[in-house]
Structure 1
Amino acid sequence: MMPLYSLKKHLALPKTSWQLCLLAAIGGIASAGLIILFTASIDFIQQWYLPQKEDYTSLDVLSRFHLPIIGALLILLFAKVTGFEYLRTGIPFVLHRLKVAHGVIPVRNTLNQFVGSVLSLASGFSVGREGPAVHLGAACSSFIGSYLKLPHNAIRTLCACGIAAGISATFNTPLAAVIFVMEVIMREYKVHVFIPVMIASIIGSVITSHVFGPSHKFEYFSKIAINVADYPLVIVLGLLLGVIAFTFNRYLTLIIKHSSQYHIVSRFLTAAIITGALGAIIPHAMGTDITAIAFAIDSNVQYQLLLGLVVAKFVMSIVALGLGIPGGIIGPIVSIGAISGVCVAAMSNQLFMQDALLTDYALMGMAGFMAATLNAPLAALIAVVELSNQLEIIVPAMVVITTASLTSGQLFGNRSVLVMQLEVQGLIYRHPPIEKSLQRIGAMGVMHESLTIISPSNDSSYIETINNAPADNFVIVKSNPPDATFTLLLPQHAALSDSPPIVKQHQLKPLSYQVSLAQAYALLKDTREGGVYLYDTNKDNIVGVLMFEQIRYYLIEGKTN
């Protein structure tokens, strides 16, 4: 194994390497282990009051009403111990941390994500498991990078690897996890990121498959029977899903916006009371996506009851997520889409005497609604393919995805619900194109390391030092304490050939060796000259120099040297 310093330099460059893949694998193992503990914790709690997981119909009406309230009070109690300011969790929070902290997740937020989501999922709130999976996976892998003090660009990649491992471990969908990370989280496809993300995703799936078994939680989907003659109904479903997706995103963000003025205790209790009241009437709407979808598909119910289930699930989901209950958004999205698809199929069968297969339209609903709400058509397509284990679903799923996405985006101007959540919460997430490009490269990978450091003296000794220094050395003057600044001396061509060189001085600004070119550019972009010095541990321990000309060369030429 190469020394840690050499490893850091190697990982600072945007190249595929076995070292990064090894770290991704370690992060994937840690993420999968945490997801197993997370899942086991939910099952352990539910076994005390449910004869079967997620079976809230076994509880009486009063118990279904009380359960979310008890869960909300326990979440608030734990949050009070850790600090209410650390209650921000989930995918939007991870996207924000990727922007402001290179993917490093605070420990207290992670604790609240774990405990809060276990309690909310165990007490019947309509939230999903993928939000906690993303957060916990990101926290595990980014912790490894932070502990080793790797360059920030490498920590960002490890964060993406942990997210993929967490999703893959939760749903046993390794390919969909990779596509989700590249399309929704990173929003770019780069080979040096794609390969370690894929490795982490594979490891997450393999580990949890060994523990929980290789099957998906949606094993009740039968062989798809949709043909070209059914496409008109599929298109109608896509149009309807586009409208529902717009409504879902809009009202979820409105609740987040207008509820922010109220205390977290009031918000949580309001969400609990609404969830309990609706759960008392329609118990199948409680909990994650599995219960509601199984009921819609397996039970021979009238479409009026399915409409009621859709409305209840819709309201419970936007209330719980909008008022801050810890949990994911994709689970409710999948559930609402699937029930909507079943409802359309049931209405068609009953009103027009057709024989549409309910499971087919459940899958179509999942694909279309997920694509329209998240603005992630490819991730939605791959997800339904993996969940159904059927390649035949690709073409009809593409039809419903394009229809739903066009309706939602073109007619209503709908965008990704995750982006809308970030904006309404005032969380920074956007990367300007220059910054996004420069973030891929660690400053440590391209810095000048051949340095000659001298103490303050007169100008003539500066020229003598420069003349005597090796050609590839940078001569730097270190001032005396207490300010202890570094000044770079660069010889300039003299006006006359027989004149001594003119020495130009550049005050160097300090930055940690972990930074990317983006942070160095942010310091130098106003003057557009000079450079920064990179230090390790403390500002006196200089390890290299990075000049603005190097950044300019990369932006123009697309390469570092």
Structure 2
Amino acid sequence: MTMPGEDSESAPDRLHHSVLVCATASVAGVVIGFVGGAFRWCLQVADAWRVDLSELAHRLPGPGWLIPIAAAAAGATLAALVVRWMPLAAGSGIPHVEAVYRRDAPPPELRLLPAKFVGGVLGIGSGLVLGREGPTVHMGAAIGAAFARVFRLPDTTVRMLQTAVGGAGLAVAFNAPIGGALFTLEEVTKSFRLQTVLATAFAAATAVGCSRLVVGDVADFQVEAVTSPALGWLPLFIVFGVATGCLGVLYNRLVLAFVDHVKLLPRISAVAKAAVIGALIGLVMFIHPLATGGGDDLTQSILGGSSMALSVIVGFLVLRFVAGPLSYAAAVPGGLFAPLLALGTLWGVLFVGGFEAVWPGHHTSLAVPMAIVGMAAFFGATVRAPLTGIVIVVEMTATTSVLVPMLAATAAAVLAAELLRSPPIYDSLRERMPVEGKACDEDGTAAR
């Protein structure tokens, strides 16, 4: 399938254009690889700092609990000030990337890059329950569009390259090159045009290769060998998928409810709103630091086989289920993917615990497989990109033994969400953006 304007080109011109596009994507991939790798490294340092700060607050006499509250509020406030300077930096950025591809908004300028980087480190690093993937995708899109302009490529190609390199950004965020490429094709373009496939593949390959020089060449989560569940358990995974689809619908509605209601507080400035939300997240940080941030450490703890009481799992699930949408309503740089994965692992372990309570029989061996499946199923239910979710989880865990139940549960989750008539979360967020050709942030405010 050809892109608009290609029919009038001769075969040599099309070949030259394709080579130039792939070369541009490769160079842009190198840049987002190092930028995204540095972004991930900064967030890893912030995660460790946040745990140390929480432990210090518990050791100090007096009102030590004020320390994480003040730190999180300060980080959120500074991130909101970055957004005041660059409104387009608010939120995930993925709805904007999709809007650009659909010609509902112009491609991002390169000056978005420092705003997204600094704002993301401040917001996510301070403990807000947001993901690193949104800012990395948006930074990749800005880099892809900038390089396309440098090589004076046509507008259609600029929009395609910002999408392709945005997908490379997702690949860097999760160290998942195939998942990042598939995200571009399944979620953003919803097509498999050859030129887009090639550009995305080149960008993702160079991006992940370079990012691994910064953060290392290992899977995001270290998981011991997982035995494939017996075929007789497949109906249970399907039931789990249906329940996950219903939970994903509830989560999407909660995200939109927080975004809409926080926006309806006109007498309070965006910076003040972010500060208050940051303070609330700081209180959660004092309760337990693993309940805040992107959730990688919590996910690793679960997938690593750490034993947690069911009441603790419920506590983490409830806190993060509410804290994620609340954090997104702060309208600072940060995404939704990583928190979704953490929720999926918690929900999987909780489901197995509940099943064990109803039907005792030593089913604890299903906990880790169900947690892994929960990551993909919850992602599929909310984002409605099931193949992307499955591939990303497989790459992040380096585990293929649960592919069959993962496919079944994710399909059931997506079907349940569709039957409940819940639109994908990024479609809902994109619809809240103006479409008059202006770049905008994700809560519907026009960008300058």
Q: Name the residue aligned to 2:290.
A: 284
Give 1:374 shift: 0.5
- Structure 2: where are the runs of 5+ without partners? 1-8, 59-64, 438-448
Give 1:383 shift: 1.5
- The answer as to whether partners of 1:314 and 1:336 remain within 8 angstroms in 2 is yes
Q: Name the residue aligned to 2:351.
A: 344
Give 1:46 shift: 5.5
Give 1:130 shift: 0.6
Q: Map Cα deviations across residues 208-234 of structure 1 (whole Å, 9 max, x no partner).
A: 223322111211353243121222321
Q: Name the residue aligned to 2:362.
A: 354
- Aligned-residue sequence identity (percent) comes to 23
Distance 1:405 1:85, change over 3 A: closer
Distance 1:148 1:78, change over 3 A: same
Query: Which amino acid in 2 is paired with 1:152?
Result: D
CA–CA separation in structure 1 for the residues paired with 2:369 and 2:315: 21
- The answer as to whether partners of 1:16 and 1:195 remain within 8 angstroms in 2 is no
| Other structure's SS at 1:396 match | helix
Q: 1:64 aligns with which of 62, 65, 68?
A: 68
Q: Matches of residues 111-126 of structure 1 in structure 2 within 5 Å?
A: 111-126=114-129
Q: 1:211 aligns with which of 210, 214, 219?
A: 214
Structure 1 residue 241 corresponds to structure 2 residue 244? yes
- The answer as to whether partners of 2:91 and 2:335 remain within 8 angstroms in 1 is no
Structure 1 residue 331 corresponds to structure 2 residue 338? yes
Q: Matches of residues 24-35 of structure 1 in structure 2 within 5 Å?
A: 24-35=25-36
- The answer as to whether partners of 2:28 and 2:147 remain within 8 angstroms in 1 is yes
CA–CA separation in structure 2 for the residues paired with 1:396 and 1:16: 43
Q: Map Cα deviations across residues 176-228 of structure 1 (whole Å, 9 max, x no partner).
A: 11111101111111112101211111111211223322111211353243121
Distance 1:324 1:49, change over 3 A: closer
CA–CA separation in structure 1 for the residues paired with 2:103 and 2:186: 20
Q: Which fold has the larger relative contact order, with Cα–Cα distance below 8 Å and residues 6 or more apart in sequence? A: 2
| Other structure's SS at 1:41 match | helix
Structure 1 residue 140 corresponds to structure 2 residue 143? yes
Q: Map Cα deviations across residues 252-297 of structure 1 (whole Å, 9 max, x no partner).
A: 1122222223331232123213212223223321111212223444
CA–CA separation in structure 1 for the residues paired with 2:392 and 2:87: 34
Give 1:123 shift: 0.8
Q: Name the residue aligned to 1:423.
A: 431
CA–CA separation in structure 1 for the residues paired with 2:223 and 2:43: 23
Give 1:67 shift: 2.4
CA–CA separation in structure 1 for the residues paired with 2:159 and 2:182: 17
Distance 1:249 1:47, change over 3 A: closer
Q: Map Cα deviations across residues 352-379 of structure 1 (whole Å, 9 max, x no partner).
A: 2332332211111001100110011111
CA–CA separation in structure 2 for the residues paired with 1:83 and 1:244: 34
Q: Map Cα deviations across residues 359-411 of structure 1 (whole Å, 9 max, x no partner).
A: 2111110011001100111111211222232333221111101111111111x
Q: Return 59-68 or 161-170, whichever deviates more.
A: 59-68
Structure 1 residue 192 corresponds to structure 2 residue 192? no
Query: Which amino acid in 2 is paired with 1:306?
Result: I
Distance 1:141 1:425, change over 3 A: closer
CA–CA separation in structure 2 for the residues paired with 1:103 and 1:424: 16
Query: Which amino acid in 2 is paired with 1:291?
Result: D
CA–CA separation in structure 1 for the residues paired with 2:201 and 2:165: 10
In terms of fraction of residues, the more helix-rich structure is: 2
CA–CA separation in structure 2 for the residues paired with 1:296 and 1:42: 20
CA–CA separation in structure 2 for the residues paired with 1:385 and 1:198: 18
Q: Matches of residues 150-229 of structure 1 in structure 2 within 5 Å?
A: 150-229=153-232
- Structure 1: where are the runs of 5+ without partners? 1-8, 430-561
Q: Map Cα deviations across residues 275-328 of structure 1 (whole Å, 9 max, x no partner).
A: 122232233211112122234444322222211111100111000112313201
Give 1:163 shift: 1.3
| Other structure's SS at 1:192 match | helix
In terms of fraction of residues, the more strand-rich structure is: 1
Give 1:106 shift: 2.6
CA–CA separation in structure 1 for the residues paired with 2:57 and 2:354: 30
Q: Name the residue aligned to 1:42.
A: 43
- Scaled by the length of structure 2, the TM-score of the pair is 0.85
Q: Name the residue aligned to 1:382.
A: 391
Distance 1:206 1:354, change over 3 A: same
Give 1:350 shift: 4.3
Distance 1:266 1:49, change over 3 A: closer
Structure 1 residue 267 corresponds to structure 2 residue 256? no
- The answer as to whether partners of 2:342 and 2:375 remain within 8 angstroms in 1 is yes
| Other structure's SS at 2:129 match | coil
Query: Which amino acid in 2 is paired with 1:75?
Result: A
CA–CA separation in structure 1 for the residues paired with 2:375 and 2:326: 21
Q: Name the residue aligned to 1:551.
A: none
| Other structure's SS at 2:401 match | helix
- The answer as to whether partners of 1:169 and 1:204 remain within 8 angstroms in 2 is yes
Distance 1:428 1:284, change over 3 A: farther
Distance 1:424 1:242, change over 3 A: same
CA–CA separation in structure 2 for the residues paired with 1:87 and 1:167: 17
Q: Name the residue aligned to 1:552.
A: none
CA–CA separation in structure 2 for the residues paired with 1:243 and 1:22: 44
- Scaled by the length of structure 1, the TM-score of the pair is 0.69
CA–CA separation in structure 2 for the residues paired with 1:86 and 1:215: 30
Q: Return 244-253 or 289-298, whichever deviates more.
A: 289-298
Q: Return 278-287 or 324-333, whichever deviates more.
A: 278-287
Q: Matches of residues 362-381 of structure 1 in structure 2 within 5 Å?
A: 362-381=371-390
CA–CA separation in structure 1 for the residues paired with 2:236 and 2:15: 47
Q: Matches of residues 313-324 of structure 1 in structure 2 within 5 Å?
A: 313-324=320-331
Q: Name the residue aligned to 1:127.
A: 130
- The answer as to whether partners of 1:168 and 1:177 remain within 8 angstroms in 2 is yes
Q: Return 384-393 or 183-192, whichever deviates more.
A: 384-393
CA–CA separation in structure 2 for the residues paired with 1:116 and 1:287: 14
Which structure has the bigger radius of gyration? 1
Give 1:336 shift: 0.9
Q: Matches of residues 463-542 of structure 1 in structure 2 within 5 Å?
A: none
- The answer as to whether partners of 2:92 and 2:336 remain within 8 angstroms in 1 is no
CA–CA separation in structure 2 for the residues paired with 1:139 and 1:214: 25
Give 1:23 shift: 1.0
CA–CA separation in structure 2 for the residues paired with 1:421 and 1:169: 23
Q: Return 9-18 or 291-300, whichever deviates more.
A: 9-18
CA–CA separation in structure 2 for the residues paired with 1:345 and 1:15: 55
CA–CA separation in structure 2 for the residues paired with 1:278 and 1:88: 21
Q: Name the residue aligned to 1:254.
A: 257
Q: Return 326-335 or 58-67, whichever deviates more.
A: 58-67
Q: Name the residue aligned to 1:407.
A: 416
Give 1:340 shift: 0.3
Query: Which amino acid in 2 is paired with 1:32?
Result: G
Query: Which amino acid in 1 is paired with 2:378?
Result: F
CA–CA separation in structure 1 for the residues paired with 2:88 and 2:200: 31
- The answer as to whether partners of 1:72 and 1:269 remain within 8 angstroms in 2 is yes
Q: 2:97 aligns with which of 94, 97, 104?
A: 94
Q: Map Cα deviations across residues 81-130 of structure 1 (whole Å, 9 max, x no partner).
A: x2557646521122223334776213444332111111112111110011
